[in-house]
């Protein structure tokens, strides 16, 4: 695993921890200001909408193995994600895009798809 791949895996670990603990300040550290989140329902949120969705519907995300592909200062991460919400487990596949700006990786987009 390259240094960038390790940094991206850690970025995703921090994102999941921030969501699971409802630590909005920590979440804002890993998401870009122009972040876009496409939910399993097809609803599209910007950063503020995504944070509101997490606040209104707390969840604990868990990730399976990740495929991390780097393209210079851009990366694509794909892998299974399980969301525990109110005693219910939803399983999907997350595709994330991250960019490195000023030496720091941040997520710019996530697309969730429900797993059949």
* Residue range 11-44, pLDDT digits in tens: 999 999 999 999 999 999 999 999 999 999 999 9
pLDDT score of 51 more than 90:
yes
Least Cα distance to 53 among 8, 22, 80, 32 occurs for 22
pLDDT at 86: 85
Contact 96, 79 (CB under 8 A): no
Q: Is 109 left (phi over 0), alpha (psi -120 to 50) or beta?
A: beta
Task: Give the residue-averaged pLDDT of 39-63.
Answer: 95
pLDDT above 90 as % of the chain: 94
pLDDT at 105: 98
- 80-108 pLDDT per residue, tens: 999 998 889 999 999 999 999 999 999 99
Classify domain 3-114 by CATH number: 3.10.450.50
pLDDT at 116: 78
State the virtual CA torsion across 114, 97, 36, 66 in degrees, nearest 10. Answer: 30
In the chain, which ranges are E strands? 31-38, 44-46, 60-71, 74-85, 88-101, 104-114
């Amino acid at each position: 695993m390259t240094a960038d791949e390790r940094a991206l895996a850690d970025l995703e670990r921090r994102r999941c921890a921030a969501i699971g603990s409802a630590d909005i300040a920590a979440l804002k550290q890993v998401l870009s200001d122009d972040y876009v989140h496409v939910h399993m329902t097809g609803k599209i949120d910007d950063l503020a909408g995504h944070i509101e969705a997490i606040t209104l519907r707390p969840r604990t995300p868990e990730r399976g193995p990740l495929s991390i592909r780097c393209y210079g200062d851009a990366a694509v991460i794909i892998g299974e994600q399980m969301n525990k919400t109110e005693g219910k487990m939803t399983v999907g596949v997350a595709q994330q895009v991250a960019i490195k700006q000023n030496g720091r990786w941040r997520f710019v987009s996530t697309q969730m798809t429900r797993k059949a």
